Each structure stands twice: as structure tokens, then as C-alpha cells.
Structure 1
Amino acid sequence: MITDIKSALRWGRFLLVEENNIDFGSLDAEVILADLLGRERNFLYREPDYPLTPGQRSHFRDLITRRAQGEPVAYLLGQREFMGLPFYVDNRVLVPRPETELLVETALVLLGGPSPPEGSAVNLPPAPVTGTVVDVGTGSGAIGISLAHYSTQIKVCATDISPAALEVARHNAARLGVSDRVAFFSGNLLDPLDPLSIKGKVSIITANLPYIPSVEMSQLPKDVGAYEPHSALDGGPDGLYFCRRLLPRAGEYLAPEGYLLMEITPGQGQPLQALAPAGYSTRVVNDLAGRERLVIFRTPQAKNK
């Protein structure tokens, strides 16, 4: 019977860990209860006898039951932290992953940030200063909004083929105070930007496109495969379908010596590098776990140089 914090956590851990074998189930129960109470997690340890109201008990049981069925914690709470910022998320968008921060951190360095992340593209020259960055397949807006938040001299054009995802991204831009510098466009890859006068004027294009090979979709963990939008995950037979479509067009938008940063899953680095247009330089960057996570393309110098 749930009456207070300690009994709630005991029940939550039992249902998640012992009954359903949820990885990090104990942590999930704590995060859910702390959020429900509007407290930090350390409050749960300091006040184990803190009584819960009937409404809190009912809400906690509902959330834990949904988590036991596989629903991601981020969807249950309606929020996920990314780059130190609180992003609203629901099942219209992918949950932002910590490994994607490598892409953002690398882009910030190329835009003139103070220090590169460990293991990133430390020795690459800075991006050309155009004031414009493009984020393709923006989803929740995590990448583009983070760049605008931490690099106040840029404006971001963010695209997504899903109008529903763009609703979430616009909401995040507003709540994080960057709506004046992040513009959203509905359409496929770079197509919706064609009417703009930014071709050849973009410093950096970021792209966290679907890259899971289709044959692996059925093998995804339940909290991913059963809840997150498949259109944002399935990258075709080898996971590179959308990358192949983006690469030839990226050069139209990038300034000379501009950068295209694409997140990948391990094993896709060399195949993706092989698709680079003539004259591009490329580099594969590993994440902190030593796995391939990012491919960087750099366009050639201007012909008159």
C-alpha cells in the first residue's frame, strides 16, 4: 500500500525492476516521483516518511504502470534535458539523446565557441561567418534551438517533414526564448528552404536524420520501437537513405569551406564518407564511449582562392 515516499518507491521498484525487468527501473521510479512532487531527487532520501495525497498516489501508480508497459520516462514527464536545457517532448518527436550533444558541441566550436568537447574535431578550421545555420530534420528542435541559445550571433533555419514535430519545436523555441532567431519550415530535407536567398550563405548544416537500418527496426528496445515515431528512426535498407538525399543538395546551401555535420550509428562512418561529393574533406568523430557518432563534411574553397 502506498502512503508515503518510501512505500511509493518500494512499490515502483518492485513493479519496474522485479516484475518487468526495466533497466534503471529504480532510478525511473525516483525521477517520476520527484517530478510529481515538484522536488529534487535528494528530497526523497531526506524525507522518506513524507505523506502522499490520494491524488499523488493515484498519479504515481498511473505513471509507473505506463513505464512498466515501456513508455519512455521523457514522454511520461513531458520533458527531457538536452545541452542543459529543458525540452518539451511527446510522442510526436524522438526523445533527444545525450550522444547527440556531441554534434551540437562540435558545431558550437566551429562557430567560434570557447573550447571543443573532448574527442571532437579539435583541429578543424572555424566555419565561415555567415550568421546562418540550417538544422535538417529538427524534430523537437533540440539541435537548432541549442545552437541558437548558446551562439547568439546566429540565426537558424530548421526543417522537418512532420508538421506535428514542428509544433513541438516551435513550442520549445518559444519557451526557451529563441523564437526570434529560429525559423521553422515544413517539408522534405532542404526543399522548403529553396525560396529563401540563403544558397551559398550557410555556415553549418546539422542533420540528425533517421539512420536505423530497416531490418533492425524490429529489434529496437520496446521503449523506442513501440513509442517513438518510426518515421524519425527508419533510415532505409542501410540506414543512409536520407543521408544520400541530403548530401548532394547540402553543397548548394553551404558557403565555401562550410560544414555539414551528420549523426550516425557505429559502422556507418566509412560508407557515408564514401558518398562525399568531389572536393569535400571528411572526418569521422567518435563519442565518449569510443563509438562512431558523427561525420563531418567540409566544402571546398571558393574557386577564385
Structure 2
Amino acid sequence: MPDIRAALREAAERLSATSDTARLDAELLMAHALGVTRTDVLLGRVEGEVPAPFEALLQRRLNHEPVAYILGTQPFYGLDLVVSPAVLIPRGDSETVIEAARIARDGRPPARILDLGTGSGALLIAALSLWPEAEGIGLERSDSAREVATRNANANGLAARARIIAGDWTRPGWTEALGRFDLILANPPYVETDADLAPSVRAHEPAEALFAGPDGLDDYRLLIPAMPGLLAPGGTALVEIGAAQGDAVSALARDAGLAAKVHFDLAGRPRCVEMA
């Protein structure tokens, strides 16, 4: 049986046709199988035989299952979040929404925050970590996703400040009893129905959290007209967008009587629209 170092080389080679981050994936899976950190693996702090679970974990990745689902966790904005196939995997690009919110509310800390389609709770929990006096609501229609978001809120010490509730913006009257908010965040479905997605996304992440009609704008058409009724005076809303949707989403915001500003991610792509 190969040692851990040799097994990592072999695993990276096997994953090279499946993943653009083959070596990283192999290291993360090995650390998980060993019950140690990736740093321990990188620094050679573990020796001995390759653990028995490693091959099964590797096979899952070879079948395009995302590493985050295999590990059951995903980092986001300095937080360690639980994830499952019930929720989208939080991505670094979505941190643009939080950074844009931080800048927009500089000197004006929000008291009430709403996260529409909260999923894992990533945006809500990150925002509450920035503003320790704020309270927030995560609206989510999926029972399974609400369970994940609740676990993440509790694990991050936010049980008293984060309330995860059922709600569906495709149903009439969904805004009733919510009240008004100083900050509204949303990462709604925005992928075109026939978009060419990687197998790890299309086959494994929840379709109801990805797809939004032929042009990817169906959910914005429902959400954005509701924003003026949900925003408190002087409030700010930020929605994540696809790279080609800045103009269309900004136009929807203006049609709703809101000013719109596009923010860009670290790669220089349009990533979210700020509305006020």
C-alpha cells in the first residue's frame, strides 16, 4: 500500500480530468479521512498507511461530487459553515455581497437584516458577524435548507439574533408580517435554464436554487418590485447577479423606483447590484 505522500500524488493524477484543483481536492480528502487538518498533511505531520475511507471519498469526487458536500463544510467570509446537498455551496464570489454591504452601511450599522433565500445562511450569518448589535431573518422555502441554516446560526453563536423562517416569494402575500429592514441581502436563483454548467454543479447542487428561467431573471422580477415595501427609510438592498445581468437587474431596480449600483468581484466581473 502506498504511503500518504505517494497516495496524494496518485489521487491528484486520477482527479486531474475531473477537477481544476486536483491536488487541493486530494489533500482535503486525505485530511478528512485522517481526521486532521490540511496543514497537518502539507507539513508531513501524519505518517503511516493511507486510511481506509480515503478511496471511497476519492471515488465520490471522481463522480463529480463537490468536495464541500463530501466534507460537509465550507468556509465563507472567515466562517466555517455546514453544507449539504440541500443548499448551494457558498462561494468566495458571494463575499462581494457582504463587502458591498459593509461599505454601503459604513457608519450606519443596520438594526434589522433580511436574507432572502438564505440557503445555508451564509449571507445572513456573515452580516450578523459584522454587526453584533443587529438581528436578522433568513427566509427560506426549503425545509431541509432551513435545518442547515439553523445549524449554522447556532454553531456561530447566533441563535438569539438569527431567525430562520419559512417563506416563498413565488406565492402571493409572502412579504406580509415581515416588516421593514435596514439591510436586505439575496443570492437568488439566476442561472439560465439551458446554461452549460459543470457536472459537479448541475448534477449535485439543488436545481431550485440555481435556475431562474430562460434568461435567469425570473426571480429578480418577483423580488425587486417587493424591495421598496421591505426597505426601511435609508435602507439598502444587495442582490447577487450573474456576470451578464448587471444592466437588466439595474433596470428592474429603477423600474421599482430604486437607485442601482453594480459591484464587481475580485476577478472584475459584475457580481451584485446595490439598491436604495
Question: What TM-score comes out, normalization by structure 2 length?
Answer: 0.93
Structure 1 pair 45–288 and aligned structure 2 pair: CA distance change class (3 A): closer
| Cα distance in 1 between the residues matched to 2:174 and 2:80 | 28
| Cα distance in 2 between the residues matched to 1:78 and 1:130 | 31
Of 114, 135, 152, the match for 1:134: 114
In structure 1, the partner of 2:176 is: 194
CA RMSD across the alignment: 1.9
Of 87, 94, 104, the match for 1:100: 94
Q: For 1:206-241, what per-residue CA distance to the aligned partner results, in whole angstroms no more than 9, with x for missing partners? A: 01000001121xx21011011000000001111111
In structure 2, the partner of 1:248 is: 225
* TM-aligned CA deviation for residue 21 of structure 1: 4.0
Letter in 2 for 1:209: P
Of 261, 269, 272, the match for 1:291: 269
* TM-aligned CA deviation for residue 22 of structure 1: 2.2
Q: Contact 2:240/2:271 (CA < 8 Å) preserved in 1?
A: yes
Letter in 2 for 1:96: P
Q: For 1:179-232, what per-residue CA distance to the aligned partner results, in whole angstroms no more than 9, with x for missing partners? A: 110001112139555224x2xx3101101000001121xx21011011000000
Q: Contact 1:5/1:48 (CA < 8 Å) preserved in 2?
A: no
Of 278, 281, 288, the match for 2:259: 281
| Cα distance in 2 between the residues matched to 1:211 and 1:30 | 32
Structure 1 pair 186–15 and aligned structure 2 pair: CA distance change class (3 A): same
Of 150, 162, 181, the match for 2:142: 162
In structure 1, the partner of 2:156 is: 176
Q: For 1:273-294, what per-residue CA distance to the aligned partner results, in whole angstroms no more than 9, with x for missing partners? A: 1112354211111111111101
Q: Contact 1:108/1:151 (CA < 8 Å) preserved in 2?
A: no
In structure 2, the partner of 1:24 is: 21
Letter in 1 for 2:272: L
In structure 1, the partner of 2:247 is: 270
Structure 1 pair 157–192 and aligned structure 2 pair: CA distance change class (3 A): farther
Letter in 1 for 2:81: F
* TM-aligned CA deviation for residue 73 of structure 1: 0.3
Q: 1:36-51, aligned counterparts within 5 Å?
A: 36-47=33-44, 50-51=47-48
Q: Contact 2:260/2:273 (CA < 8 Å) preserved in 1?
A: yes
In structure 1, the partner of 2:190 is: 211
Identity across aligned pairs (percent)? Answer: 36
| Cα distance in 2 between the residues matched to 1:278 and 1:93 | 29
Letter in 2 for 1:91: P
Letter in 1 for 2:183: I
* TM-aligned CA deviation for residue 36 of structure 1: 2.6
Aligned residue pairs: how many?
273
In structure 1, the partner of 2:83 is: 89
In structure 2, the partner of 1:260 is: 237
Q: For 1:78-116, what per-residue CA distance to the aligned partner results, in whole angstroms no more than 9, with x for missing partners? A: 00000011000010100000000010122133333xxxx
Q: Contact 1:92/1:164 (CA < 8 Å) preserved in 2?
A: yes
Matched, 1:34 2:14: no
Q: Contact 2:110/2:131 (CA < 8 Å) preserved in 1?
A: no
Q: For 1:146-205, what per-residue CA distance to the aligned partner results, in whole angstroms no more than 9, with x for missing partners? A: 111221111011101111100100011111110110001112139555224x2xx31011
| Cα distance in 2 between the residues matched to 1:209 and 1:66 | 28
Matched position secondary structure for 2:48: coil
Question: What TM-score comes out, normalization by structure 1 length?
Answer: 0.84
Matched position secondary structure for 1:195: coil
Of 216, 219, 222, the match for 1:239: 216
In structure 2, the partner of 1:110 is: 104
Gaps of 5+ in 1: 113-125, 299-305
Letter in 1 for 2:212: G
Larger Rg: 1
Matched position secondary structure for 2:225: helix
Q: For 1:244-279, what per-residue CA distance to the aligned partner results, in whole angstroms no more than 9, with x for missing partners? A: 101111111101221110100111011111112354
| Cα distance in 1 between the residues matched to 2:242 and 2:86 | 22
